[in-house]
A and B are shown apart, each in its own frame.
Chain A
Amino acid sequence: MAVALVLVLVVVGSILFHILSPWWWSPIASNWGYIDQTLIITFWITGAVFSAVVLFMAYCVFRFRHREGVKADYNPENKKLEWWLTAVTAVGVAAMLAPGLYVWSQFITVPDDATEVEVVGQQWQWSYRLPGQDGRLGKSDNRLVTYENPLGIDPDDPYGQDDVVIEAADLHLPIDKPVKMLLRSIDVLHDFYVPEFRAKMDMVPGTVTYFWFTPTRTGTFEVLCAELCGTGHGYMRGIVMVDTEEDYQAWLDGQTTFAQLSAPTTVGVMDADEP
Chain B
Amino acid sequence: MVDATPHAEQGVPPAETPELELYHPKGWWTTYVFSQDAKVIAIQYSGTALAIGLVALVLSWLMRLQLGFPGTFDFITPEAYYQFMTMHGMIMVIYLLTALFLGGFGNYLIPLMVGARDMVFPYVNMLSYWIYLLAVLVLVASFFAPGGPTGAGWTLYPPQAILSGTPGGQGAGIILMLVSLILFIIGFTMGGLNYVVTVVQGRTRGMTLMRMPLTVWGIFTATVMALLAFPALFVACVMMLFDRLLGTSFFMPALVEMGQLMSYGGGSPILFQHLFWFFGHPEVYIVALPAFGIVSDLISTHARKNIFGYRMMVWAIIIIGALSFVVWAHHMYVSGMHPWFGFFFATTTLIIAIPTAIKVYNWVLTLWRGDIHLTLPMLFSLAFIVTFVNGGLTGLFLGNVVVDVPLSDTMFVVAHFHMVMGVAPVLVVFGAIYHWYPKITGRMLNEAMGQFHFWVTFVGAYAIFFPMHYVGLVGVPRRYPELGDVAFVADSVHSLNAFITIAALIVGFAQMVFLFNLVWSLRYGREAGGNPWRATSLEWQTPTTPPPHGNWGAARPIVYRWAYDYSVPGAPEDFIAQNDPGPQHRGAV
Name B77's closest neighbour in chain A (CB-CB): A231
A206 lies within 8 A of B269 (CB):
yes
From 391 to 426 in chain B, residues with beta carbon under 8 angstroms from any chain A beta carbon are: 393-394, 396-397, 400-403, 405-410
Q: Would you call B346 and A97 a contact (CB within 8 A)?
A: yes
* Cβ A60 vs Cβ B480 within 8 A: no
| B574: A residues at CB distance < 8 A | 71-72
B397 engages A39 (CB within 8 Å): yes
* Closest A residue to B406 using CB positions: A198
Q: List 13 A-B contacts (CB under 8 A).
A: A21-B467, A39-B403, A42-B397, A42-B403, A45-B396, A66-B304, A72-B305, A76-B309, A101-B401, A200-B405, A205-B254, A228-B155, A232-B165
- Please give me the 9 A-B residue pairs with the lowest Cβ-Cβ distance, nearest first: A206-B253, A230-B165, A195-B475, A209-B336, A46-B393, A60-B367, A188-B160, A108-B339, A73-B369
Report B's interface with A, CB cutoff 8 A.
4-6, 78-79, 82, 151-153, 155, 157, 159-160, 163, 165-167, 169, 253-259, 261, 265-270, 303-306, 308-312, 334-336, 339-340, 342-343, 346-347, 350-351, 353-354, 357-358, 360-362, 364-365, 367-374, 379, 382, 385-386, 389-390, 393-394, 396-397, 400-403, 405-410, 459, 462, 466-467, 470-471, 473-475, 477, 479-484, 486-488, 490, 492-493, 496, 564, 566-569, 574
Partner of A103, one of B266, B347, B402: B402
- A54 near B389 with CB under 8 A, answer yes
Query: Would A226 and B305 be within 8 Å (CB), given that A25-B475, A26-B488 are in contact?
Result: no
Q: CB distance B255 to A205 under 8 Å? A: yes
Give A132 to B33 CA distance when docked, in angstroms.
Answer: 73
Nearest B-chain residue to A198, judged by Cβ:
B406
Evaluate contact between B400 and A202: CB separation under 8 angstroms. Answer: no
Question: Do the beta carbons of B406 and A195 come within 8 Å of each other?
Answer: yes
Asked whether A23 lies within 8 Å of B471 as measured between CB atoms, the reply is yes
- Chain B nearest Cβ from A111, distance in angstroms: 15
Q: How far does the alpha carbon of A76 sit from the alpha carbon of B334 in the complex, in Å? A: 45
Per the bound structure, the CA–CA distance linking A253 and B342 in Å amounts to 40
Name the contact of A187 in the complex, choosing from B165, B308, B475, B566 (C-beta under 8 A).
Answer: B165
B364 and A57: CB pair below 8 A? yes
Given that A222-B488, A228-B153 are contacting pairs, would A191 and B166 also be in contact in the complex, using a CB cutoff of 8 Å? no
A93–B372 CB distance below 8 A? no
Query: A3 touching B374 by the CB < 8 A rule?
Result: yes
Q: Does A134 contact B (CB under 8 A)?
A: no
A69-95 residues with Cβ-Cβ distance < 8 A to B are: 70-78, 81-82, 85-86, 89-90, 93
Do B405 and A10 have beta carbons less than 8 Å apart? no
Q: What's the Cα separation between A49 and B151 when bound, in Å?
A: 38
Contact A22-B490, Cβ < 8 Å, known A42-B397, A229-B160: yes
Q: With A38-B403, A123-B257, A187-B256 in contact, do A227 and B409 touch (Cβ < 8 Å)?
A: yes
Q: From A1, which residue of chain B is reached at the shortest CB distance?
A: B374
CA distance A39 to B574 in the complex (A): 47
Contact B400 A100 (CB under 8 A): yes
Task: Indicate if the CB atoms of A76 and B336 lie closer than 8 Å.
Answer: no
Q: How many A-B residue pairs have CB under 8 A?
A: 330
A233 contacts the other chain (CB 8 A) = yes
Q: Which of A200, A222, A233 contacts B486 (CB 8 A)?
A: A222
Contact mask for chain A residues 96-112; partner B; CB cutoff 8 A; 1 contact, 0 none: 11001101110110000
Q: Which residues of B contact A195 (CB under 8 A)?
A: 406, 474-475, 488
Chain B nearest CB from A35 CB (Å) reads 6
Q: Indicate if the CB atoms of A23 and B496 lie closer than 8 Å.
A: yes
Contact between chains at B382 and A205 (CB < 8 Å): no
* Identity of the chain A residue whose Cβ is nearest the Cβ of B262 in the assembled complex: A187
Known: A73-B305, A74-B567, A183-B336; 9 extra A-B contacts, CB below 8 A, are A23-B490, A39-B407, A64-B371, A76-B5, A100-B400, A123-B258, A142-B253, A195-B406, A207-B336
Smallest CB gap from B458: residue in A: A6
Contact of B342 among A53, A108, A199, A235 (CB under 8 A): A108
Cβ-defined contact, B354 with A205, below 8 A: no
Residue of A at shortest CB range from B162? A188
Bound complex: CA A152 to CA B401 (Å) = 33
Instruction: Evaluate whether A231 and B166 lie within 8 angstroms (CB atoms) in the complex, with A142-B254, A207-B336 already known.
Output: yes
A229 and B429 alpha carbons, distance in the complex (Å): 34
CA of A41 to CA of B106, assembled, Å: 41
B462 x A65 contact (CB < 8 A):
no
Within residues 218 to 274 of chain A, which ones have a CB less than 8 A from any CB in chain B? 220, 222, 224-235
- Give the CA-CA distance A39 to B79 in the complex, in Å: 35
Q: Knowing A54-B389, A104-B342, A231-B79 are in contact, say whether A226-B410 is a contact too (CB < 8 A).
A: yes
The CA-CA distance from A232 to B310 in the complex, in Å, is 52
Given A78, A101, A142, A145, which contacts B347 in the complex, CB threshold below 8 Å?
A101
Contact residues in B for A23 (Cβ distance below 8 Å): 467, 470-471, 473-474, 490, 492-493, 496
Contact present for B163 and A204 (CB under 8 Å): no
Q: Is the CB of B303 within 8 A of A204?
A: no
Contact B160 A104 (CB under 8 A): no
Q: Is the CB of B473 within 8 A of A222?
A: no
**Contact A97-B400, Cβ < 8 Å, known A26-B488, A195-B475:** yes
A7 and B382 contact, CB distance less than 8 A: yes
- Taking a contact as CB atoms under 8 Å apart, the answer to whether B492 and A22 are in contact is yes
CB pair B393–A50 under 8 Å, yes or no, is yes
Judge if A168 is at the interface, Cβ distance under 8 Å: no
User: Which among B4, B165, B362 is the interface contact of A231 at CB below 8 angstroms?
Assistant: B165
Q: Is A141 an interface residue (CB 8 A)?
A: yes
Q: Which residues of A contact B169 (CB under 8 A)?
A: 230
Closest residue of B by beta carbon distance from A122: B256
Q: Note all chain B residues with C-beta closer than 8 A to A24.
A: 470, 473-474
List residues of chain B with CB within 8 A of the CB of A187: 159-160, 163, 165, 255-258
Q: Are B564 and A76 in contact (CB under 8 A)?
A: yes
Q: A7-B386, A187-B257, A231-B151 are in contact. Are A64 and B401 (CB under 8 A)?
A: no
- Measured CB to CB, the nearest residue on chain B to A227 is B409
> Does B336 lie within 8 Å of A206, measured CB to CB?
no
User: In the assembly, what is the distance between CA of A88 and CA of B85, in Å?
Assistant: 40
Tell me how far the C-beta of B447 lies from the nearest C-beta in chain A, rounded to whole angstroms.
15
**CB-defined contacts of A25 to chain B, threshold 8 Å:** 406, 473-475
Q: List, in ascending order, chain A residues with CB within 8 A of B353's CB.
A: 89, 93
Judge whether B364 and A56 touch: CB under 8 Å. yes
Task: List the B residue with the shortest CB-CB distance to A104.
Answer: B402
Residues of chain A in range 113-131 having any CB-CB distance to chain B below 8 Å: 122-123
Complex CA–CA separation, A187 to B260 (angstroms) = 10
Q: Is A14 an interface residue (CB 8 A)?
A: yes
Q: How far is the CB of A7 from chain B (nearest CB, A)?
A: 7
Q: Which residues of A contact B408 (CB under 8 A)?
A: 200, 226
Q: Across the two chains, which residue of chain B brings its CB closest to A204?
A: B336
Q: Which residues of A contact B266 (CB under 8 A)?
A: 206
B481: chain A residues within 8 A (beta carbon): 234
Chain B residues in 8 Å Cβ range of A97: 346-347, 350, 400
By beta carbon, the residue of chain B nearest A207 is B336
In Å, the complex CA distance between A199 and B407 comes to 9
- Find the B residue at minimum CB distance from A6: B459
The CA of A26 and the CA of B486, in the complex, are separated in Å by 12
Instruction: Report if A186 contacts B (CB, 8 A).
Output: yes
| Assembly CA distance A39 to B469 (angstroms) | 13
Given contacts A61-B372, A232-B165, contact A96 B396 (CB under 8 A): yes
Contact A75 B477 (CB under 8 A): no
Contacts of A67 in B (CB 8 A): 371
